[in-house]
Structure 1
Amino acid sequence: MTVPAAAEKTAGDEFQATRPGRLINEYLQHMAVERGLSANTLAAYRRDLLRYHRFLQASGIDDISRITRRDVTGFAQAVATGSDGQSPLSPRSAARTVVAVRGLHRFWALEGMSEADPARDVHPPAAGQRLPKAISVDEVFRILEAVDTSTPSGQRDRALLEFLYSTGARISEAVGLDVDDVSVDEALSGPAVVRLFGKGSKERLVPLGSYAAKAIDSYLVRGRPALSGKGKGGPGLFLNMRGGRLSRQSAWTILKAAAEKAQVTREVSPHTLRHSFATHLLEGGADVRVVQELLGHASVTTTQVYTLVTAETLREVYAASHPRAFG
């Protein structure tokens, strides 16, 4: 979730209050400019490092040269237990916070702001591996077919959901699309490509299947003009009822309503369609590195978690089908 501008300003003001805070701000500016992090990722770093800044203040540390390995370890324990007076974090979130602090100290050491790196040997707590929650092909089809396409908003909803499942796009990538980013005419006769802009504004090309192309074409011809007429005629592909660009929250509501109508009882979010896209490709025989490219993952290690899902599916099928699976 993007941090509101007022919250960003408050955090920035708080960082300026101390020298460690100002040096944290320099690191955040470096991450924004040199690393090209997305707004959401940068906001997460800012929240994590603001908590670290407050921890240092509470410990009476006003000079980064005084920070020791014990201080960093103490902070890692504090975010996991809530002993710093804030809510304890899950193992995964605590690990992310420690990674942010390690990056901060590495930056300070490399830039000559500090002589040592007290966080170098501090490791984040091990987080349990959380497998992506995919739904079955049948459940996906039921959700897609549950949308009533007799209205402009319904045509948009069907186009959006078909697009998410066809491309594996993140919801932020989908709602950020402009009409010119999609070549529907080419896709109607066979898979064409769509330009998606992922984390850090990294561009990738992803095939668009004919079902999604037909849904988008129908929406562009009949649905979008009706919605666009209610606004200022912006370039966004998926529009809300006021003619503006559809929000991520609205997209989640659209999917939830379709899932309820399809009587899919499992919890479903836009990211579920992304997980299902990857899982179904691997189950169909796709190479994990191809799926990595389609998802826009920087490392194949991130994508390989989906192979654990398909392996689990194989075990379930074997257990249910083989006559000597159990004795």
Structure 2
Amino acid sequence: MLEHYYFRPETVDRIRASWLAPAIEEYVTWLTEAHYTARSVLHRVPVLMSFGEYAKAHGARDFAQLSDYVEPFVQTWIRRHGRGRSAARRSKFSHEVRNPICQMLRLVVEGYDGPGRPHKPDNPFEREAPHFMAFLVEEKGLRPRTILHYRFHLHQFATHLERNGIRLRAVSPTVISGFIAEYGPRIAWTTLRNACGTLRVFLRYLYREGVLSRDLSPLVEFPQSYRHASIPRSISWDQVEQVLASVDRRSPCGRRDYAMLLLLATYGLRACEVASLTLDDIDWRNERFRIRDRKAGNTTTYPLSAVAGSAIVDYLKNGRPATTHREVFMRMSAPLAPIGHAAVVCRAAHFIRKAGVNVPRAGSHVLRHSCVQRLLNAHFSLKHIGDYVGHRSISSTQIYGKLAIDQLRDVAQGDGEDVL
């Protein structure tokens, strides 16, 4: 594989003379399979060669010992090559040096995870409630993404108890109130509401399992909120068309983004549903596609509109990289992998801002709101709209289409005579 990038035989011989040669060749093969550019490969191999020489000079004898020399080598490299750079540029420069080394070590050293943040246990209360996560899956039937939110809030609660030296069995109403009072001001009320819900479920489970002698869950009060207090994040359809028009479809990335935005705006899909769409979900013969495993636990089949279908075909023919992955939408930069839901949110937010549309919390859900608002303006019933966008309860649909924004705006701007 090295001959694919280096034309001079002596260069290849020099690389293969290194004691890290097997690891470097395996890493170069991985870079090629992940669709990294030749320029990226040629930039990384010299760094790995220098790292091998540094580690050997400082006592490394096998691959398992290399992890001890990563940070010292990075600091030495920065002192040597990072003079005169700003602090931000040095930080980015150190990442460019550290990243290829860590990638290579993940391939050749079993169990190596790299520097990164320390891994937190799935259940911070493993000793007192070891089966709580299984309870969430088997009895409550929660999805993995929901369980991630449970884990996050439980870690916050565990940190509060540890900081104050309180054992779980000694939790009292005062302790719970102190946690909510401390945690609440740092987060949005919706996050606090979810944290209170997590805490109630956890306390009820502890009482059932005998960890607590009293059921404290009723004492956890949800933050007070008023239904319909806020307006939806929808934008007008003219603004949606401005967002779509802001996408430059001459590039592969633009073709992909345009197809994703059309699905978001036309069908009111969630970002995770767009990211998980596969080639097998599209029935070209019957002009329809399906969204599997939705948030409500159902599967929805949609008619494939001519505009959305043409955009997807254009991307598949002229933009999608060659890959064995079945997901429709792929990353455009290495490593080659299906796009994640967070990237769909970021791309939607990017084009909303690019189009000059001002909206709180720009993202993919703005287009979902706009789809629901458009259906409401077309006088579809809430039941039909809820089925269309994948809601389990009609109350969820009411949250998206709370107010007739355009009509109220006309009233506010007029003299009020038409209302009388």
Separation in 2, partners of 1:35, 1:306: 26
Q: Which runs of 5+ in 1 are unaligned?
A: 82-87
Give matches, 1:156-175, under 5 Å: 156-175=256-275
Q: Distance in 1 between matches of 2:239 and 2:350?
A: 14
Listed as ranges, the matches of 1:196-235 within 5 Å are 196-199=292-295, 202-224=298-320, 227-228=321-322, 232-235=323-326
Residue 294 (structure 1) aligned with residue 388 (structure 2): yes
Aligned partner (choices 142, 162, 166) of residue 61 of structure 1: 166
Gaps of 5+ in 2: 1-112
Q: How do 1:130-209 and structure 2 match up within 5 A? A: 130-187=230-287, 192-199=288-295, 202-209=298-305
Q: Does 1:247 align with 2:351?
A: no
- The 1:37/1:161 distance shift into structure 2, 3 A limit, reads same
Structure 1 residues 98 and 252: CA distance shift in structure 2, 3 A: closer
Give the whole-Å Cα distance in 2 for the aligned partners of 1:74 and 1:305.
31
Deviations 1:38-77 (A, max 9, x none): 333212111111122233334443353x433333223222
Structure 2 partner of 1:314: 407
Given that 1:136 and 1:276 are in contact with CA atoms closer than 8 Å, whether structure 2 keeps it comes out as: yes
For the pair shown, the structure with the greater C-alpha radius of gyration is 2
Q: 1:149 to 1:13 in 2, by over 3 A?
A: closer
CA distance in structure 2 between the aligned counterparts of 1:37 and 1:7, rounded to whole angstroms: 27
Question: Compared with structure 1, are the counterparts of its residues 212 and 49 closer, same or farther at alpha carbon in structure 2 (3 Å cutoff)?
Answer: same
Q: CA deviation at 1:323?
A: 5.8
Matching residue of 1:26:
131
Aligned counterparts of 1:27 and 1:7: Cα–Cα separation in 2: 24
- State the shift of 1:102 in Å: 0.6
**Residue 79 (1) aligns with residue 183 (2):** yes
Q: Describe the SS at the equivalent of 1:15.
A: coil
Question: Which residue identity lines up with residue 183 of structure 1 in the other structure?
Answer: D
Q: CA deviation at 1:260?
A: 4.5
Aligned to 1:10, what secondary structure does the other structure show?
A: coil
Answer yes or no: is the 8 Å Cα contact 1:105–1:117 preserved in 2: yes
Q: Is the 8 A contact 1:134 1:279 kept in 2?
A: yes
Encode CA deviations 1:111-144: one digit per residue, 9 max, x unaligned.
4544421121331221464433111100111211
Q: 2:157 aligns with which of 52, 58, 62?
A: 52
Q: After TM superposition, give the deviation of residue 178 of structure 1 in Å.
A: 0.8
CA distance, structure 2, for counterparts of residue 296 and residue 321 of structure 1: 37
Structure 1 pair 54/157, CA: closer, same or farther in 2 (3 Å)? closer
Query: CA 1:130 to 1:33, structure 2 compared with 1: closer, same or farther past 3 Å?
Result: farther
| Counterpart for residue 356 of structure 2 | 263
Moved more, 289-298 or 129-138: 289-298
Shift in alpha-carbon separation, 1:259–1:120, aligned structure 2, 3 A: closer
Structure 1: how far apart are the matches of 2:137 and 2:163?
27
Deviation at residue 172 of structure 1 after TM alignment: 1.2
Provide the C-alpha distance between the structure 1 equivalents of 2:117 and 2:294, rounded to a whole number of angstroms: 24
Q: State which drifts further: 265-274 or 246-255.
A: 246-255
Write the letter of the residue equivalent to 2:402: L
1:100 Cα deviation (Å)? 0.8
How far apart, in 2, do the equivalents of 1:143 and 1:166 lie?
A: 13
- Match of residue 58 from structure 2: none
**Aligned AA for 2:121?**
A
> Of residues 104, 118, 121 in structure 2, which corresponds to 1:11?
121
- The 3-state SS of whatever aligns with 1:289 is helix
Letter of the 1:255 partner, please give it.
A
Partner SS, residue 374 of structure 2: helix
Q: Decide whether aligned partners of structure 1 residues 68 and 258 sit closer, same or farther in structure 2, where only a CA change above 3 A counts.
A: closer
Residues 10 and 257 of structure 1: is their aligned pair in 2 closer, same or farther, counting only changes over 3 Å? closer
CA contact (8 A) 1:109 1:117 kept: yes
- 1:135 and 1:272 in contact (8 A); partners too: yes
How many angstroms does 1:216 deviate by?
1.4
Report the alpha carbon displacement of residue 273 of structure 1 after superposing the two structures with TM: 0.8
Q: Which residue does 1:85 correspond to in 2?
A: none
1:305 Cα shift? 1.6
Aligned counterparts of 1:215 and 1:183: Cα–Cα separation in 2: 15
Q: Deviation per CA, 1:133-156, whole angstroms, max 9, x where unpaired?
A: 111100111211232323332222
1:275-298 residue CA offsets vs partner (Å, 9 max, x unmatched): 111111111111112222233233
Give the alignment of 1:114-125 within 5 angstroms. 114-125=212-223
1:48 counterpart letter in structure 2:
H
Three-state SS of the structure 2 residue aligned to 1:11 is coil
> Structure 2: how far apart are the matches of 1:13 and 1:27?
8
Separation in structure 2 between the aligned mates of residue 30 and residue 193 of structure 1, nearest angstrom: 34
**Letter in structure 1 aligned against 2:192:** A
Instruction: Report SS of the residue matched to 2:290.
Output: strand
- TM-score when normalising by structure 1: 0.80
